[in-house]
Amino acid sequence: MRHIISVRDLSKEEIETILDDAAAIQSGSYDPSALRGKLLGLLFFEPSTRTRMSFAAAMARLGGDFLSMDSVEASSMAKGETLADTIRVVSGYVDAIVLRHPKEGAARLASEFARVPVINAGDGAGQHPSQTLLDLFTIRQSMPLEGIHVGLLGDLRYGRTAHSLAHALSLYNVTIHTITPKGLELPAGLAGELRDAGTEVVEHDDISTCVRDLDVLYVTRIQRERFPDAASYFKVASSYRVTPELLSGTRDHFIVLHPLPRVDEIDPRVDSLPCARYFEQSANGIPVRMAMLLRVMG
Amino acid sequence: MTRKKDARDGLLISPIENGTVIDHITAGEALNVLRIIGITGTTTESISVATNVESKKMGTKDIVKIKNRELRKEEVDRIALIAPRASINIIRNYKVWEKKGVDIPDRVIGIVRCPNPGCISNTNEPIRSCFLVQKNGLRCLYCDWLITKDITSHII
């Protein structure tokens, strides 16, 4: 039984295989009844639009069906049931589980109790492998992953998408530029680990000093919900904004990505620039998640 | 010519007939070693502890003697987390029956608490903490948190 819990569990070869499969799916090469008769359980203990809907759409496009649990209030968790018990029960109903949960490590725990494959759809500030795979997929549509300069802008302390992406990028010969407000730097442990893996990590506090050296700018939202209190959030909120003026003079193949939702960190005027790829990135969630579902259930 | 042992050197801890002697513990870690192997104030073993004993090899060291209990391999290996140079002597009839070092285990279960307050292992789920032992520290199996120093302060 194959779970997908963390990009740490995936080798470079496995990542490449999933990305190749996703590319084939995107070009129309897939069996629309490959998962007919299969049922996917969507367990979302945190709000989500893109991830939940794209997994549901991916399952439907492969001929399968899904059951959805969208809030803690509507589940037995509200009665005090443990996640372990919920997983044991639900894995008797479905053929695979997609889990979004506010606690870090929830998906790993789920994989220990489930009798069906588990896909991590984001756990707390931890891992979000399906997002990382679609991020890599989107970059690879524009340029090879090897040897590029990637800027990670925003909340790199709590941002799980940036953590997962940084780890996956460390499998390639990239340079990572971190651009963060004070206090939201990449956790020291992760930065050290990236350097140990041979990745050059360059720290910046101002995007304008490095944006012209980048091939990819990965913008993240400052996540209000991850801050311990409102005061610490407002201290850093609105501390950066990507504008067309900022992006003038960037490299020809330069692209801007964002896992979405955005608040005000990207000026809407950027949307019409050729480098803005965040909506394509979001749409890429379908073929990538179809490839993941086929991998665990096909 | 070797110096005849001076009575004033004395014996810090008397020999045991049967049991385990854990020698060459990093100075100051003896009580943590006891915690790691599950010996608390409520257990019944007869224990002798010597701390900051002079050692040619280590400068100073701690020693623990446990009467009538032979430690199992997995108990011993946990000690390596805080005392990698420790040696274990299994004593039978006042003689060293077996002498072994400690091997760092691949993972430690139920010994170290994850410092990440958002980690699922710190909730009421029916799991025990689990850390993978890596060259740069202990990594929480669940949330990936890496403990790189001061492991002792995270022992449950």
pLDDT score, position A26: 98
Q: Which residue has the higher pLDDT, B76 or A236?
A: B76
Query: DSSP 3-state helix, strand, coil percentages of chain A (rounded to 5)?
Result: 40, 15, 40
Nearest CA in chain A to B142: A105
Nearest CA in chain A to B128: A109
Nearest to A296 by CA among A93, A102, A96, A98: A96
Q: Tokens at residue B27, please?
A: 């100075």
pLDDT score, position B3: 46
B59-89 burial: b if 16+ Cβ within 10 Å, else e? eebbbbbbeebbbeeebbbbbbbbbeebbbb
Q: Which of B116, B124, B136 sits opposite A82 (nearest CB)?
A: B124
pLDDT score, position A205: 86
DSSP lists the bridge partners of residue B48 as B65
Q: Packing angle between helix A188-196 and helix A160-169, nearest 10 degrees?
A: 10
Q: Is the pLDDT of residue B35 over 90?
A: no
Q: Is residue A128 flagged as an active site residue?
A: yes
Q: Which residue has the higher pLDDT, A126 or B33?
A: B33
Query: Where does chain A have alpha helices with state H?
Result: 12-26, 50-61, 83-90, 106-113, 129-142, 160-169, 188-196, 230-236, 278-283, 285-297
ipTM value greater than 0.90? no
Look up tokens 């005061």; give the residue. A231
Neighbour count for residue B50 (Cβ, 10 Å): 15
Query: Chain A to chain B, count of Cβ pairs less than 8 Å apart?
Result: 61
| Distance (Å) from the alpha carbon of B151 to chain A's nearest alpha carbon | 15
Residue type, A57: A
> Mean pLDDT throughout B96-104?
88
Q: Are B156 and B113 in contact (CB under 8 A)?
A: yes
3-class SS at B16? Answer: coil
Q: Which of B137, B143, B148 sits opposite A104 (nearest CB)?
A: B143
Using CA atoms, how far residue A131 sits from A81, A89, A187, A229, B84, in Å, is: 29, 27, 20, 27, 40
Q: Is the pLDDT of residue B24 over 90?
A: yes
> Mean pLDDT throughout B46-57?
90
**Across the interface, do B120 and A103 touch by the CB < 8 Å criterion?**
yes
pLDDT score, position A48: 85
DSSP lists the bridge partners of residue B54 as B60
**Across the interface, do B141 and A192 touch by the CB < 8 Å criterion?**
no
**Across the interface, do B136 and A8 touch by the CB < 8 Å criterion?**
no
CA distance A187 to A199: 15
Nearest CA in chain B to A160: B143
Choose, from A2, A50, A108, A226, the residue flagged as catalytic: A50
Segment-wise mean pLDDT, segments of 10 residues, chain A, 298 residues: 92 97 98 98 90 96 93 67 95 97 95 98 88 97 97 88 93 96 85 92 93 97 73 72 96 96 92 97 97 95
